[in-house]
Amino acid sequence: MKKELIFEGNEKRIYAVEDPHRVIFHYNDVIVAYNNVKRARLRGKGILTNKISAVLLGYLNGCGIPTHFIERLDDREQLCRKIEIIPLEVVVHNRMAGTLAAKLGVEDGFKPANTIVDLCYNNDELGDPLVNRDQAVALGLATYEELELILSMARRAGKLLTELFHKAGIELVDTKIEFGRASDTGEIIISDEISPDTCRLWDEKTQERLDKDRFRLDLGDVISAYTQVLERLESI
């Protein structure tokens, strides 16, 4: 049974339940970009991100990569393991797009021979800056051993998700993955959502963008793109 609200963000709310080591995630119809500078309400968007994230996190669980996801409860809510947030983001890039392409002076969508993994300090006030392992340890965000595990899990998750999306005719350009420590065991697990809000997804044949860039770049048809992603994932 859902109890008190313990967190309210733009795109989701988190509620306590009777089990102190479980929470309910409720997905809202809000979409934001550029650290909340750009914001809109899109009817049905929360339903789509909830369902897509449930599919992807459930898939990773099934592949032996632990996540906070337990089960989808309804169109907008899912039951999850409660975590202590590790304020780091790992971004796995199969292509250079968006900010990364602009920063390095390459064409948007440039495909390198290797996979790029970035480690960022999850701090909106600072603009989520890139950090190296020594800086992350100095800030007390994680130990070296934890960072090895986090980066290894992120790389494996990125590979598995790339393969899954390929089966759906979608290219995973990049994905942002967050982590936390499970409140009951202390185990490091993937947390938060994985969806078109946190990934760049391009149609393999047409290169059409099927992710939040449709909102960032004013391309329109955001709900249609997210619906395509869900339907393709469900079809496989």
- Ordered by start, the domain boundaries in the chain are 5-235
Q: Is 36 exposed, middle or buried (0-12, 13-18, 19+ CB in 10 A)?
A: exposed
Q: How far apart are CA 176 and CA 193, in angstroms?
A: 9
> Tens digit of pLDDT for each residue in 139-170?
999 999 999 999 999 999 999 999 999 999 99
Parallel, antiparallel or unpaired: strands 69-72 and 116-121: unpaired
Q: What angle do CA 224, 226, 228 make, to 5 degrees?
A: 70
* Whether 200 contacts 207, CB under 8 Å: no
pLDDT at 35 over 90: no
What's the pTM value of the predicted model, to 2 decimals?
Answer: 0.96
pLDDT at 1 over 90: no
CB atoms within 10 A of CB 56: 26
Confidence of residue 189 (pLDDT cuts 50, 70, 90): very high
Give pLDDT, residue 43: 98
> Tens digit of pLDDT for each residue in 98-130?
999 999 999 999 999 999 999 999 999 999 999
CB atoms within 10 A of CB 223: 17
Say which CATH architecture domain 5-235 belongs to.
2-Layer Sandwich (3.30)
Mean pLDDT over 196-209 rounds to: 98
* Dihedral angle of Cα 14, 15, 18, 23, to the nearest 10 degrees: -10
Share of the chain above pLDDT 90, in %: 97
* Whether 80 contacts 25, CB under 8 Å: yes
Specify which residues 81 forms β-bridges with. 22
* Whether 212 contacts 71, CB under 8 Å: no
Enumerate residues 6+ apart whose C-beta is below 8 A from 104: 96
pLDDT at 36 over 90: no
Confidence of residue 200 (pLDDT cuts 50, 70, 90): very high
* Whether 2 contacts 17, CB under 8 Å: yes
Is the CA virtual torsion 47, 35, 109, 148 positive or negative?
negative
Q: Which of 1, 64, 52 is nearest to 229 (CA)?
A: 52
